[in-house]
């Protein structure tokens, strides 16, 4: 295993190829679950988003032991720890990841600080980084992912503070690559949801 240069998005993409593919498949399965569950009911985007995350986490958990560690956050939030990287999977808001809100843990995460998790202090190595996978849904319920490295916090509706952010695509063999554009069109409207607060559990 190589040590990625996390200032280089291509290195980060290469390092995270397997968990990225797994997250994509988990969200895809989660969207199908949410659509089926709510098919005969009035549409509730908050419940739809939660059902998608809930099912996606259990899909990832069902994969069994992986080289990376799966952590469950409150409100069915998803975190993946793959030393030296910690990744949070968040519903896209506007043109990028959601703002961190008032949560000290989320603000620390966005600011590349250590995370006060329920089972003790996790110190991110100097060579490591906190990254974000933000996701949305294109027409025909197709998942669209972007990978980014936050470098600070921002207010609701403000410009995201990111060192880099790239849209991710997958080839016929499931290998990820970056989309050389501003990303997919036709994404559904996004919600700014508080997706996590504290760590609930982990597997690895």
Give the pLDDT confidence score for residue 188 in this predicted structure. Answer: 52
> Greater confidence, 192 or 170?
170
Contact indicator for 130, 152 with CB cutoff of 8 Å: no
Number of H helices, E strands in the chain: 4, 10
Comparing C-alpha atoms, which of 43, 83, 23, 3 is closest to residue 191? Answer: 43
Rounded CA gap, 88 and 195, in Å? 10
Mean pLDDT of the chain: 82
pLDDT tens per residue, range 61-99? 999 999 999 998 888 999 999 988 999 999 998 878 999
Q: What angle do CA 20, 33, 23 make, to 5 degrees?
A: 5
Give the pLDDT confidence score for residue 114 in this predicted structure. Answer: 57
- Give the single-character DSSP code of 191: -
Give the pLDDT confidence score for residue 157 in this predicted structure. Answer: 81
Q: Across the strands, what pairs with 170?
A: 176
15-40: average pLDDT? 94
Q: What are the distances in angstroms from CA 129 to CA 9, 65, 86, 151?
A: 12, 23, 6, 10
Give the pLDDT confidence score for residue 150 in this predicted structure. Answer: 95
pLDDT > 90: what percent of the chain?
51
């Amino acid at each position: 295993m190589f040590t990625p240069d996390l200032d280089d998005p291509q290195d980060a993409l290469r390092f995270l190829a397997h968990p990225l593919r797994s997250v994509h498949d988990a969200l895809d399965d989660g969207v199908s679950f949410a659509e089926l569950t709510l098919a005969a009911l009035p549409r509730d985007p908050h419940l739809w988003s939660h059902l998608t995350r809930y099912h996606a986490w259990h899909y990832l958990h069902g994969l069994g032991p992986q080289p990376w560690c799966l952590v469950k956050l409150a409100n069915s939030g998803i975190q993946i720890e793959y030393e030296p990287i910690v990744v949070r999977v968040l519903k896209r808001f506007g043109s990028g990841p959601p703002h961190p809100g008032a949560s000290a843990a989320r603000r620390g995460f966005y600011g590349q600080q250590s995370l006060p998790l329920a089972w003790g202090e996790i110190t991110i190595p100097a060579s490591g980084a906190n990254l974000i996978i933000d996701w949305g849904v294109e027409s025909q319920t197709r998942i669209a992912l972007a990978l980014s490295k936050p470098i600070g916090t921002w207010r609701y509706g403000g410009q995201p503070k990111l060192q880099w952010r790239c849209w991710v695509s997958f080839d016929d063999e499931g290998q990820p690559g970056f989309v050389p554009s501003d990303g997919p069109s036709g994404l559904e409207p996004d919600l700014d949801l508080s997706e996590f607060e504290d760590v609930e559990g982990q597997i690895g």
